[in-house]
Amino acid sequence: MKDKSPLVSVVITNYNYAKYLREAINSALNQTYQNKEVILIDDASSDNSREIYDKFSRKIKIIKHLENRGIVFSRNEALNIVKGKYICFLDADNYWESDYLAKICDFAEKNNMDVVYTDMQLFGNRNSLVKLPEFNLEILKSANFIDMGALIKTSIAKKQGFDPFLNKMSHEDWDFFLGIALTGACLARCSDTKLNYRVHSYSRNIYGGDKEKLIEFAKMFAHITNKYAKKYPKEFLYSTSRDFANWIISYDYTVTQTAQTFERTIQLAQAETQRILNSKSYKIGHKITAPYRVLRRVLK
């Protein structure tokens, strides 16, 4: 009998993660979900990654970069070649439960979802289960909570693409999902499985007391929020954190003062987000639009 389940394109992105790579590849290949293609993109690793992935050359498609191009380039490259109805990225230092694809794909098909994400089981330098919130655009406008391991409808992913400005910076995933959500796409959390997410002692998203990293973070934040505020002005009526990001780029401040002000501003932005979510007007509007969202999924 022909498998009627949709094709899922699994894209493993790797750069110098040889010591974790075998586990990631095996977790993709050993999924109970059968109708899938597995593609590995190696971004010119200088460790022994090639020794690992070459052993899987008969089971997966391998793309090798001759020079390091960055994660945004790699993911956009993947969008140009995948064939599945859905695409799912797997960072080479993470891995999936064996039923991961089966659970999220089933959820997406039954509920006609464009993006399905899961909770995260942290391991490595930190071990805990992170239960993520049900999808809410207001929360997403302040910070990302969706990992690239989410299941994404390929047609929507290709239309959105990854912003080249953010290549070799950070938060390209936040920009990606925020852009998709603002178009009115349907995003939801599936609680039936989880992503195993490795926590390192280092991160592209940790700035510490490094002024250059802090300014780079501000440039990233200002770029993303300014871009979408211009495109969707009604969705960005408050801009506490965006104003601060623009200010920090142009103001010469001490690292300590800047870090303290930054943390305080983020707290204010989060408080403002919560105030909006708790407001009567938002709750009434949410109730009014809920039937429309359900009808939209049915009509799709």
Instruction: In whole angstroms, give the CA distance from residue 85 to residue 83.
Output: 7
Backbone angles phi, psi at 13, to 5 degrees: -105, 130
Range scoring the smallest mean pLDDT among 24-33, 71-80, 90-99, 254-263: 254-263
pLDDT at 91: 97
pLDDT at 184: 93
Q: Residues, the chain, total?
A: 300
Instruction: In whole angstroms, give the CA distance from residue 182 to residue 229.
Output: 11
Q: pTM of the full predicted structure?
A: 0.81
Nearest-5° Cα angle at 195, 139 to 217: 45
Instruction: In whole angstroms, give the CA distance from residue 218 to residue 114.
Output: 30
Name the residue ranges covered by the structural domains of the chain: 8-199, 211-280
> Could you read off the pLDDT of 168-183 as tens digits, one per residue?
788 899 999 999 999 9
% of the chain surpassing 70 pLDDT: 76
pLDDT at 203: 55
DSSP 3-state of 13? strand
**pLDDT(221) > 70:** yes
> Could you read off the pLDDT of 101-152 as tens digits, one per residue?
999 999 999 999 999 999 999 998 889 999 999 999 988 887 889 999 999 9
Which amino acid, residue 68? N
Q: CATH classification of 8-199 is 3.90.550.10, yes or no?
A: yes
Asked whether the beta carbons of 135 and 290 are under 8 A apart, the reply is no
- Mind giving me the DSSP string for 117-142? EEEEEEEES--EEE-PPPP-HHHHTT
pLDDT at 253: 47
Beta-strand relationship, 187-199 and 95-96: antiparallel
1 pLDDT tier (thresholds 50, 70, 90) = very low
Tokens 């490259």 belong to 77
Which residue did the predictor score with more confidence, 140 or 291? 140
